[in-house]
Amino acid sequence: EAQVTQNPRYLITVTGKKLTVTCSQNMNHEYMSWYRQDPGLGLRQIYYSMNVEVTDKGDVPEGYKVSRKEKRNFPLILESPSPNQTSLYFCASSLQDSGANVLTFGAGSRLTVL
Amino acid sequence: GNSVTQMEGPVTLSEEAFLTINCTYTATGYPSLFWYVQYPGEGLQLLLKATKADDKGSNKGFEATYRKETTSFHLEKGSVQVSDSAVYFCALTPGQGAQKLVFGQGTRLTINP
């Protein structure tokens, strides 16, 4: 089954404790992206990647890092999480030809930073 | 800049009612427009899209027409079902080769039997 898989789905952590949210897709998509969803704000792009070793900032990159060492994986790293990073996070992917248009989303990772 | 504004929710309707969720946009260039749907506990799924003015996107009984003159892309369905209960997001990509979707804030729809 074609899908984007995120882990963990739920996480409660404390300020300053480094964490990584993994994202993996099995569709051989070149384009991958991370969004955060907050009430009243919709989804906002954090980072995106056009292909292996090619990443760029989205609209709200502060406090986050990403890497794209393999085509299928695009982990989101919070080096020192803070409470304002409490949010619902989505990873998404698409074929390069379609750009960011037709995204396949993961099921989401709900993060709480105390 | 690029932005999307959706009607405020939540919206509650009875089964078989007519649905309209308003969406207007601001964009430079020639955006493509989308509706995504998020069912409880799931990620977003593409519902329909339109890539140029006057195009109509349709899927699962939902329709939306790209209106350049009013910068709108309202979502409609003639007869909603309980299974349509979800959060609906209007979105745009600013132009050819753009690398992000710009989302509206989402509208939560609840359909009562």
B43·A101 Cβ contact <8 A: no
Residue A26, both tokens: 């099995």
B101·A100 Cβ contact <8 A: yes
Give me the pLDDT at residue A44, please.
Answer: 93
For residue A102, pLDDT beyond 90 = no
3-state secondary structure of B111: strand
Give me the pLDDT at residue A40, please.
Answer: 84
Residue B99, both tokens: 């690398």
pLDDT tier, B100 (very low <50, low <70, confident <90, very high otherwise)? confident
3-state secondary structure of A98: helix
Q: Which residues of chain A are within 8 Å of residue B93 when distances are taken between CB atoms? A: 99-101
Give B101's DSSP letter: P
A42·B32 Cβ contact <8 A: no
Closest CA–CA distance from residue A36 to any residue of chain B (Å): 11
CA gap A100, A114 in Å, rounded: 33
Average pLDDT of span B105-110: 94
Share of chain B above pLDDT 90, in %: 77
Give me the pLDDT at residue A1, please.
Answer: 82
Q: Which residues contact B16 (CB under 8 A, 6 or more apart)?
A: B79, B80, B81
Using alpha carbons, select from A111, A16, A9 the residue that is nearest to residue A63.
A16
B42·A108 Cβ contact <8 A: yes
CB A106 within 8 A of CB A88: no
Phi, psi of B84 (to 5 degrees): -80, -5
CA gap B32, B50 in Å, rounded: 6
Taking CA atoms, what residue in A is nearest to B4? A42
Residue B101, both tokens: 């979707």
pLDDT tier, B9 (very low <50, low <70, confident <90, very high otherwise)? confident
